[in-house]
Amino acid sequence: MGASLSFPEVDLAGKVAIVTGGNTGIGYETSKALARMGAHVVLACRSEERAKNAIEKMKSELAEAKPVSGEDIKIEFMALDLTSLASARDFAKAYLARNLPLHLLILNAGIAMIDPLQMTDDGLEKMFQVNYLGHLLILLYLLELLKSNGPDVRVVSVASAAYKMGLFDLTNMDGSKSYGRAKFYGNSKLYQIMMTFHLQKKLSDSGISFFSLHPGIVSTEITRGFNDSKFWMAFTKASRGIGVSRNAEKGAATTINAAVNPEFANQKALYFEDCKAVVPGKHARNESDHEELWAYSVNLLRRYIDDDCLAKLNEMGLTIRADSPSEAAAVDPSKQESQDVKEKADD
């Protein structure tokens, strides 16, 4: 509520940025700011119509503002549906096929407070996949490209202070034992922060900075996920009333600052709130949990990672076994262990 939300105006001419969910809310304001600074911005989102409308609106708004770099505004759309892991893979491979560089990857798209429990066609809890796992798959495909454009390339994950409500529990990743909208939203945001720390540790000499952040309580389309809840709607209304809630422009400030501020060049595994680097809670920094989350996640993703990507990841020190199970069903670890025993017996 009195936080100073600001970021420097930096010349980003020659830089390329991907912003998932860049057509609305925080993603829209982030994309517009990066484009104003001269970056070539790719809006990765589901609806081409909505993306193109957003691009036209951005260009109209930016026509009234002098671009920082003096460059022409470059904003474009590429299709991405994070409810489909195949779509996430196809987006990343389509981007690689264009032979564009990449300097900023803003993992912004998200959904919140889904109730009742919803599963994707991939068999995964929806917030887990959209907020975390689909983004991880894109990142794995684009890591080598990011590394090749370093140093000081950045991956920025828009998480949330809701991670404090999260719990890493491998026995209930799919919500089959128990499910609560706030808990599982918090879980998905916790995983984003955990993976930021894990990847930074594994790729500490890569020239890639992995950041995550809490944008604040922001009034955007993400609140549509709890329009049916009297409690959460009352909370949102009260937040606006006492001045805690931010509009999308102010909500994007922490993302933009993490992405462009020269002060953070080549910094490692930072977590931001109110445009400042702070230390997240201990449960987000547990290295043993990081390893377990990594193993669980890549097991789910293995069938979407082609051999070329697999080889490059292994060369970078991100070990993914070529013989990892290819069926990416969201399963209880005890059931997976039983299945592994059965497969060994069948051999």
Question: Rounded distance, CA 79 to CA 82, Å?
Answer: 10
Residue 185 appears among annotated catalytic residues = yes
Cα–Cα distance list, 277 to 28, 213, 268, 270, 282 (Å)? 23, 9, 11, 6, 15
Q: Which residues contact residue 302 at a Cβ distance below 8 angstroms, ignoring those fewer than 6 apart?
A: 320, 324, 325, 326, 328
Euclidean distance between the first and the last CA atom of the chain, given in angstroms as a whole number: 61
Q: What is the arrangement of strands in the sheet containing 153-158, beginning at the earlier edge strand?
A: 74-79, 40-45, 16-20, 104-107, 153-158, 208-214, 270-273, 276-278
- Token output for 244: 């805690």
- Token output for 109: 């798209």
The number of residues in the chain equals: 347
* Burial of 118: CB neighbours in 10 Å, binned 0-12, 13-18, 19+: middle
Q: Which of 95, 132, 163, 185 is catalytic?
A: 185
Q: Which residues are catalytic?
A: 185
